[in-house]
Amino acid sequence: MPKHEEKSSKTLNEAKNLVIELENELKHARASWSVFTTGNGLHRQSLRELINLSDERHTFDHIIRSSATMTVLSLCRLTDFDKPNRLTLSKLKSLINPAQYIEIYAENASSWHSEHLEYRKIERKAVIEHIPILHSQVSKFLKSTQLNNMRKLRDEALAHRLDLQSLRPTYDDIELVFKDAHNIVSLSSRLINGKSWDPKDYIEIEELKANDFWDRFEDGMKLKYASENPKSPQ
């Protein structure tokens, strides 16, 4: 294999693997976030009432606090500065680099419809046009107020226990960070694989899993409370 083809193949494989790893990391972050949101929601009023009657509040609080913390840590980790062996969104900018590799991705796009010359031209043109858009999205995301407040929270409050209540992200802040990260990974997948990544299905699955977890947690608490308080009305 000629050196330029070997380099093209290596770059494409690295980019494909990076996108898969980023998708998986976002899934892990969403799993933690789903545990937090489904356990902390108003629809869990019965669970809250049960917790107030038992001695399990510390367990519940620990799960809620840990799931929120893991969400913040995962999202911030993905937005750290790019270094060797780090899984970051910034790495997309170096791997999908218009100055060095745009022809690699354009040629790769041409192969998606090898039997249709017109489609090949369209895909090639679309990839060339969207690579700068990807770079712009990543840069804008890394400078966003919501993300930077979350990173300060990670660096100071979570790492050093400093009181930074004013930086505590809201539900909407975290959802916006998820949305921006999803859009970046989805566009990257489109440029590399010819198919956008749709996170909708896995988000629904993680919410179902989280609800099942809290259902089991609540059922366990009911059994424990009933055994410890046999004369209490159920």
Q: Where are the domains of the chain?
A: 3-228
Q: What is the pLDDT of residues 136-176, one digit of tens each?
A: 999 999 999 989 888 888 887 776 665 555 567 788 889 99
Asked whether 189 and 14 are in contact (CB, 8 A), the reply is no
- Tell whether the torsion through CA atoms of 50, 52, 54 and 59 is positive or negative: positive
What's the confidence (pLDDT) of residue 222?
86
pLDDT tens digit sequence for 59-73: 888 898 899 889 999
Q: Tell me, what's the pLDDT at 211?
A: 93
- Whole-number Cα distances in Å, 86 to 26, 211, 222: 15, 32, 44
Which residues of the chain are under the pLDDT cut of 50? 1
pTM comes to: 0.84
